[in-house]
Structure formats: structure tokens, C-alpha cells
Structure 1
Amino acid sequence: MKAVVLKDYGDVDKLAVQDMPEPKVGPGEVKVRVIAASINPVDWKIRRGDMKAMMPLKLPAILGRDVSGEVIEVGTGVEAFEPGDRVMGLVNAGYAETVVAPTEAWAKVPESMDLRDAAALPLVTLTGVQLIEEQVQPSKGETLLITGALGAVGRAAIFAARARGVKIWAGVRRKQLVEAKTLGVDGVVALDDPKDVAKLPTLDAVADTVGGEAVAAVLGKVKHGGIVGSVVGEPKGAKEKGLTVRTFLSHVDGRRLEQLGVSVAKGELVIPISRSFPMSDAKEAQKLAEEGGVGKVLLIN
């Protein structure tokens, strides 16, 4: 099969399309013909070597955590899926023509959803929802700030927090303030404007999706003992301020992913897609995604 392979750590020129052995399906696994994959920050962080210690690779390696496609084979013991099913999943080695992953990684795609668009959902929606539901766990009426609120993970976090009856503040850059007001939250704050940050009310918790100066700017607004949940590592100075810090990596959850797919199909949760590229143009696609902006970048087979 053809796959986008990382030959060595470095820039996008370390990516190449080449033939790789096709994965074989085992017990409890599902094999899928990949229609589309999506690019996430973890992909270029791995490519650059930023995550060698946490996620070491045996090179050459196939990147990619999100895919959508059609089931072509199931292993023994699999009852939830059958050949022909339209699915999306949180996997490994997704930049390829076929991929194999455990049953629990997969979710069926709603009939009304474009199968290619479904590739944008698994990692970002599960990360944002798990950040709220499993880590921060805000209670009804509490005040929560979500950093990077216009990003895909931030949008999923807002969706999950809204379901819990939380007062939501969206943290964005000053240039994003107008767009952020379309999110339907209780308040919007420019995290790169100290005067704007100073106007924030006391926060019960922060759900951090970006890290760095953005979250550092608001730590002083969190009540003593308040929670800071982060998908990008422990914020510097948070524990020293008496805050409870919870960091995590997202995990597969096919049941929840299927529910989130239905919410996207209904328009209750919106994950913007900026652009699609052929899988063979993965270098250009990763370069564009790494430059930042709002919207997922897809790779299409």
C-alpha cells in the first residue's frame, strides 16, 4: 500500500510517499480503507522530534491519528462492525491507504455526513470533550475559561462544558475577538491583552488547549484550589499558585465518538475544515497546518 512515511526527524522534507506493508487484521481489530485523514499538531510535533521522549518512533514510520473510511475486514470477535460500514477512528499510522485499529477506536459515521469530513473529528473532539468530562469536571454554575476557544479542541470543550451548565469564557487572541463572539459563550477575553484579562471574573477552572503565555496570563484569576486542566502539559507556576493541575492525553472511545459525530451532523458542534489535499501532497498540507489558523486540514486518498 502507499503511505506517507517519516524517514527521519526534521522538516516536512523528511516526509515521503512510498510503498509500505499492508497491515493485517487481528482478533478484535477492524481494517479500514482510508478515504481521508486529518492533520493535528501532534503530527508535526512528532515529525520535528519534539516528542521523542514521550512517543519514540521506530523510523521509518507512518504518522496520522485521524481517519475516516470504509471497513474492508474485521477480526475474530468483532460484532459491532462489518465490511462496508462507514467509520471514523482515532488510530495510529493514518496517513495510508489502509489502517488497522482495535474495535473500540472506531465509530460509525452518520449517513448525512460527508465521509471525508468525518476524518476531522476523532482526535480533536475526543480531546476537547475528555478535557472537560474527565479532567476539569466543572459543576453547573461554575465559571470556566477555555483557552484557544476557536480551535477545534476548544470548540469541543465548549460543547461539553455547555452541556454541564457552566458559565463559559472563551480565551482567544485580540484579533479573534469578533469571531469568538459567534461561539455563543458567556464572555470573551483577549488573552494577549493584559487590560482585557484584568476584567475577567474569578475563575473556578481553566481548560487549556494552547499552553504558553495564554494560560500563564490567567492563572492569577483562578481561585485558590481551582482546577487547571491541560492537553499540552503542566502550565508553569500553576501549582505554585495553589492550583490543582490535571494533564492528560486523549484516549480512544468509540461510543463517545459516535455520539459526537451525531452532534456534528445535527450542527450542534461545528469543527471547521480549512482545506483538503491529496495524500501525495502531505508535505504541503502539513506545512500549511503548522502555520496555524482556524480549521482542520485533510488528506484525501
Structure 2
Amino acid sequence: MKAVVLKAYGDADNLVVTEMPEPKVGPGDVKVRVIAASINPVDWKIRRGDMKEVMPVTFPAILGRDVSGEVVEVGQGVKGFMKGDRVMGVVSSGYAETVVAPEEVWARVPDSLELKDAAALPLVTLTGVQLIEEQMKPAPGDTVLVTGAVGAVGRAALFAAKARGAKVWAGVRATQVEEARKLGVDGVVALEDASDIAKLPTLDAVADTVGGKAVAAVLDKVKRGGRVCSVVGEPKGAKEKGLQVSSFFSHPDGRRLAQLGESVAKGELTIPIGKTFKLDEAKDAQKHAEKGGTGKVLLVN
């Protein structure tokens, strides 16, 4: 099969397209012909070596954490899927024509969703939702802020926080304020504008999807004992302010992913797609995604 392989840590030029052996199906596994894979920040962080202490790779390595496609084979004991099913899931080695992963990571793609577009959903929706449901756990009426709210993970976090009855504020760049107002939130704040931050109410919790100066700017607005939950590492100074801090990596969950797919199909949650590249163009796709901006970047076979 054709796959995009990382030869060594470094820039995107270390990604090469080559032939690799097809992965074999074991008991409990599902083999999928990949229609599309999505590019996530973790991909280029792994590529650059930023995460080699916590997520080391053995070269040559195939990157890619989420895909959509069609089932071509199932292993012994698999009961939930059969050949021909349209699926999506959080996987390893997704930049390829074929991928194998355990049955429990896969979810069916709703009929009304384009199979290609479904590749944008698994990692970001689960990350945003788990940030709220498993880490923050807001109570109805809590006032919470989501940083990076117009990004894919931020949108999923907003969706989950609103579903729990929280009063939700969207934290974004000044250039994104108007876009954020369309998300049905209780308020929007420009995170680089000190006067705007000063108008924030006291926060029970912050769901941080961007880190750095953006989250640091709002820590003084969180009540003592309040929660700061992040997908990009513990914010500096948060514990010193008497805040509860948690940082986590998301985990595959096919059951929850299936529910989120239905929410996307119903228009309750939207994950924008920015640009699509061919698998052979993975080098250019990562360079494009690394520049930032709104909208997922996809690789299609």
C-alpha cells in the first residue's frame, strides 16, 4: 500500500510517500480502506520531535491519528462491523491507503455525511468533548470560558459545555470575534484585549485548547478553587493562583464518536473543513496546516 512515512524528526520535507506492507488483521480488529485522513497539530508536533518524550516514534513512521473509510475485513470476534460499512475512528498510522485498528475505536458514519468529510471529526470532537465531560465536568449554571473557541477542538468543547447547561464564553482572537458570535454562546471575549478581558464575569472554569498567552490572560478571572483544564499542557502560574489544574490526552471512544457524528449530521455541531490535499501532497498539507487558521485539513486517497 501507499503511505506517507516520516524518515526522521524535522521539517515537513522529512515526509516521503512510499510503498509499505499492508497491516494485518488480528482478533478484534477492523481493517479499513482509507478514504480520507485529517491533519492535527499532534502530527506536526510528533514530526518536529516536540513530543518525543511522551510519544516517541520508531522510524520509518506513518503519522495520522484519524481517518474515515470503508471496512474491507474484520478480525475474529468482531460483531459490530462488516465489510462495506462506512466508518471513522481515532487510529495510528492514518496517512495511508489502509489502516487496522481495534473494533472499539470505530464508529459508523451517518448516511447524510460525506465519507471524506467525516475524517475531520474523530480526534478533535472527542478531544473537545472529553475535555468538558471527563475533565471539567461543569454543573448547570457554571460560567465557563473556552479558549480557541472557533477552532475544531474549541467548537466541540463549546458544544459539550452548552449541553451540560453551562453559561459559555468563547475566547478568541480579535479577528475572530464576529465568527464566534455565531456559535450561540453567552458571550465572546478577545483574548489579546485587556479591556475586553476585564469585562468577563467571574469564571468557574476554563477549557483551554490553545495555551500560552491566551490562557494566561484570563487566569485572574477564575475564582479561587476554580478549574483550568487543558489539552496543551498545564498553564504556567495557574496552580500558584489556587486553581485546580488538569492536562490530558484524549482517548478513542467509538460509542461517543458515533453520537457526535449524529450531532454533526443534524447540524448541532459543525467542524469546518479548510482545505483538501491528495495523500501524495502530505508534505504541503502539513505545511499549510501548521500555519494555523480555521478549518480542518484533509488528505484524500
TM range (shorter): over 0.9
Q: Which residue of 2 aligns with 1:58?
A: 58
Q: Which residue of 2 aligns with 1:252?
A: 252
Q: Which residue of 2 aligns with 1:266?
A: 266
- Deviation per CA, 1:95-153: give whole Å up to 9, x if none: 00000001111000001110000000000000000000000000000100000000000
* TM-score for the superposition, normalised by structure 1: 0.99
Residue 52 of structure 1 aligns to a residue in which SS?
coil
Amino acid at match of 2:252: V
Q: Does 2:120 match 1:101?
A: no
Instruction: Describe how 1:142-221 pairs up with structure 2 within 5 A.
Output: 142-221=142-221
Amino acid at match of 2:194: P
- Deviation per CA, 1:141-182: give whole Å up to 9, x if none: 010000000000000001101111100000001111111111
Deviation at 1:185, TM superposition (A): 0.2
Amino acid at match of 1:288: H
Amino acid at match of 1:20: M
Q: Does 2:13 match 1:13?
A: yes
2 CA distance for matches of 1:182 and 1:208? 20
Residue 104 of structure 1 aligns to a residue in which SS?
helix
2 CA distance for matches of 1:26 and 1:259? 27
1 CA distance for matches of 2:247 and 2:28? 30
Amino acid at match of 1:153: V
Corresponding pairs, count: 301
Percent sequence identity over matched residues? 75
Amino acid at match of 1:204: D
Instruction: Describe how 1:109-120 pairs up with structure 2 within 5 A.
Output: 109-120=109-120
Residue 92 of structure 1 aligns to a residue in which SS?
coil
1 CA distance for matches of 2:260 and 2:179? 23
* TM-score for the superposition, normalised by structure 2: 0.99
Give the ranges of 4+ consecutive aligned residues of structure 1 lying more than 2 Å apart after TM superposition: none
2 CA distance for matches of 1:102 and 1:211? 32
Q: Does 2:25 match 1:30?
A: no
Deviation at 1:21, TM superposition (A): 1.2
Amino acid at match of 2:241: K
Amino acid at match of 1:11: D
Amino acid at match of 2:169: W
- Deviation per CA, 1:199-218: give whole Å up to 9, x if none: 11100000000000000000
2 CA distance for matches of 1:120 and 1:176? 21
Amino acid at match of 1:22: E
Deviation at 1:47, TM superposition (A): 0.5
Gaps of 5+ in 2: none
2 CA distance for matches of 1:13 and 1:230? 30
Q: Which residue of 2 aligns with 1:277?
A: 277
2 CA distance for matches of 1:291 and 1:233? 20
- Deviation per CA, 1:220-247: give whole Å up to 9, x if none: 0000000000000100000000000111
Q: Does 2:70 match 1:85?
A: no
2 CA distance for matches of 1:257 and 1:180? 24
Q: Does 2:285 match 1:290?
A: no
2 CA distance for matches of 1:94 and 1:272? 20
